[in-house]
A and B are shown apart, each in its own frame.
Chain A
Amino acid sequence: MRARVATSLVLLLGSAACASPGSASAGRAWYAGDRDRAKSQLESQIEDDAEGRALYLNELGVLALERRGLAEALRLFSEAAQIMGGFGGSGSDAVGAILGSEASKQWRGDPHERAMNSYYLGIVNLLLGVTDNALAGFKNAIFVDSGQGEEAYDCDFAPALFLEGFCYEQLSDPGMAERSYTSARNLVPQCAAMAASNQGNVVVVVDVGRGPTKINVGEHGEQTRFIADGSTPSAIDVLVDGASVGSAAKAGDVYFQATTRGGRDFDSVLNAKSAVKTGSKVAGVGALLVADDLPKKYQAGALVAGAALLLTSFAVRAEADTRHWTSLPNEVQLLRFELPPGSHEIEIRPSAGWRIAGPTTQVVVVPPQGDVLVYQRVLR
């Protein structure tokens, strides 16, 4: 009977410790240029790993946007947003994350990932021509980025502020547009796309490079750090009907967004688990070492206690959750310029060693009134 109880408890701990695998492998495939493998991996994972659903939806959303499957991208990002915006957590989530690995809980992303989900909802809605929902996307990106850690209740992700202004402008609200543009300009005064004098009717948004990678640090991996890929092309030129109209310039840094969030409440749980893990290991080894020196009648007890403490140390999973949205960009670049109304062919051309993830050229129709948005992703 004791064996059955022990087996059950081991299974209990085991089930609680099962960690959701994350999307790192699919991300590597995508950055290596194998979009189809990345997609099939993610589609398989989304079936098998309910706790990571929002993560896989976001990754698939980026792939859908790459091939301009806008309706599909909207559906994927919207469903992810519903999961990421939830407040509640199931009891099993809590038990699993506390007894086992933190990565066993439902993935809802860090604040910068929630903000980027909203940013993509804004981009996709703008490309679909649904301006008020695009505005809602950028507003929510700003909202999520506000009040986080060191940011003292002010958003510092300039692309979301700039694109909020762009949406207000399309919705004929110049007062609100100017407020948003001014906030963006104050954050990145060197970005020519945001200059007050720049009233161009075409805005090019380029997501550049590979976003931050989240890794474990600390004795038992109880802390996380973001590593920046950091590389960007020396220039991203924009050509209209074969002629250059300028280069995109940096407007927002996703790595900076990821690293300015401050600490988490759950970190104290992980620190406590790490202390238990270290303490039980030291105590277990100590008990085994002194067992020989104890009177014979206490030796068996000391050995059992030592073994139990070591088992506890092995069983406690103190490592923090490093699942992260791998297909985020490293930075967002912008260019704004004027074109005469009519149809134009636009090409985004990065410097040598970089490639376009999306259509090589895009045909846009500039209306007599109003502006157009062009989106592109650039990868190494």
Chain B
Amino acid sequence: MVKAWWLAATLMCSLAACSSPTQRVDPDQDDALGGTGIDSGDIRATADKIARSILAMDRLYTRGTPYVVVQDPKNETRFQINDSMIVDRIMTLLIQNSGGRVQFVDRENWEVIQRERALKRSGAVSVPTDAQGQPNLAAAPLGSDYFLLSTLKSLSKTNGDAESDYIVATFRLTDAETGAILWQDDNEWKKVGERGVLYR
């Protein structure tokens, strides 16, 4: 009888509590929430594959250090995402691992850069100097050799209870002068899921 009481009490507590403490989880692993949307693991795997592919492409470096402007991806899926997360991650991996072989041009902060240039040239703020003690002022902001462009596309199916989503994240480096496509690669994944009977 004591066992029965404890069993009932444990069941009651587990139902009444209905929560678990916050825990850290591996961002490469799928979480228990389910759904066929884009997860952290998809973003990390995509960024890793694309960064490696860019680093392994010798043609990119034949004319010296390439200067790249990154554009936010076009999201053509049915999922709301902050799509700049993927390209931010790719940039981080390349900056961390390329040893300066690839340079990125910051266009997100164009107005801040323009304002700072104007302040330096007006004398409102000091001008940094180079190793010879000369004013270190670039003649113009950097132009780019390549654009890193990307698109997320999906093929989605449902019968009301179950869903499937095939997603392709495509990346390309386009010559900023000629429009020629120097390189293209992608990462793809497919997820299927079904709602539990409680939600059907």
A152 to B1, CA, bound (A): 55
A125 nearest in chain B by CB position = B80
B184 interface residue per 8 A CB criterion: no
Residues of A within 8 Å of B159, CB to CB, are 147, 153
What does the 1/0 interface line of B169-200 toward A look like (CB < 8 Å)?
A: 00000000000000000000000011111111
Smallest Cβ distance from A296 to chain B, in angstroms?
30
A262 to B1, CA, bound (A): 47
Known interface pairs A8-B9, A15-B16; A89-B196 also in contact (CB < 8 Å): yes
What does the 1/0 interface line of B36-54 toward A look like (CB < 8 Å)?
A: 0100000000000000000
Q: Is the CB of B1 within 8 A of A136?
A: no
B56 interface residue per 8 A CB criterion: no
Smallest Cβ distance from A374 to chain B, in angstroms?
22
How many chain A residues sit at the interface, stated as a range, is: 35 or more
Smallest Cβ distance from B3 to chain A, in angstroms?
10
A132 interface residue per 8 A CB criterion: yes
A95 interface residue per 8 A CB criterion: yes
Smallest Cβ distance from A168 to chain B, in angstroms?
10
A2, A95, A97, A132 — most chain B CB neighbours (10 Å): A132
A140 to B15, CA, bound (A): 34
Q: Which of A56-64, A78-86, A278-286, A347-355 contacts B (4 or more CB under 8 A)?
A: A78-86
- Interchain residue pairs with CB less than 8 A apart (15): A4-B5, A5-B4, A8-B8, A8-B12, A11-B12, A87-B196, A88-B33, A88-B34, A92-B18, A95-B15, A105-B199, A118-B78, A132-B74, A133-B75, A140-B78
Q: Is the CB of B196 within 8 A of A12?
A: no
The B33-92 residues at the A interface (CB cut-off 8 A) are: 33-35, 37, 74-81, 83
Known interface pairs A1-B5, A87-B193; A147-B198 also in contact (CB < 8 Å): no
The A117-137 residues at the B interface (CB cut-off 8 A) are: 118, 121, 125, 132-133, 135-137
Q: Is the CB of B18 within 8 A of A149?
A: no
Question: Which positions in A face B, CB cutoff 8 Å?
Answer: 1-2, 4-5, 8-9, 11-12, 15-16, 50, 78, 81-82, 85-90, 92-97, 105, 108, 111, 118, 121, 125, 132-133, 135-137, 139-140, 143-144, 146-149, 153, 171, 262, 264-266, 269
Q: Is the CB of B5 within 8 A of A5?
A: yes
B114 interface residue per 8 A CB criterion: no
Known interface pairs A8-B5, A50-B19, A143-B158; A97-B78 also in contact (CB < 8 Å): no
Q: Is the CB of B196 within 8 A of A88?
A: yes
A293 to B197, CA, bound (A): 45
Smallest Cβ distance from A222 to chain B, in angstroms?
15
Q: Is the CB of A16 within 8 A of B15?
A: yes
Q: Is the CB of A12 within 8 A of B15?
A: yes
Q: Which of A2, A92, A143 contacts B14 (CB 8 A)?
A: A92
Known interface pairs A1-B1, A5-B8, A8-B5; A132-B15 also in contact (CB < 8 Å): no
Residues of A within 8 Å of B198, CB to CB, are 89, 93-94, 97, 105, 266
B157 nearest in chain A by CB position = A147
Q: Which of B2, B77, B161, B194 contacts A136 (CB 8 A)?
A: B77
Q: Is the CB of A81 within 8 A of B14?
A: no
A82, A88, A143 — most chain B CB neighbours (10 Å): A88
B32 nearest in chain A by CB position = A88
B160 interface residue per 8 A CB criterion: yes
Q: Is the CB of B80 within 8 A of A81?
A: yes
B131 interface residue per 8 A CB criterion: no
Residues of B within 8 Å of A125, CB to CB, are 80
Smallest Cβ distance from B71 to chain A, in angstroms?
12
Residues of A within 8 Å of B76, CB to CB, are 132, 135-136
Known interface pairs A15-B16, A147-B160, A171-B74; A86-B34 also in contact (CB < 8 Å): yes
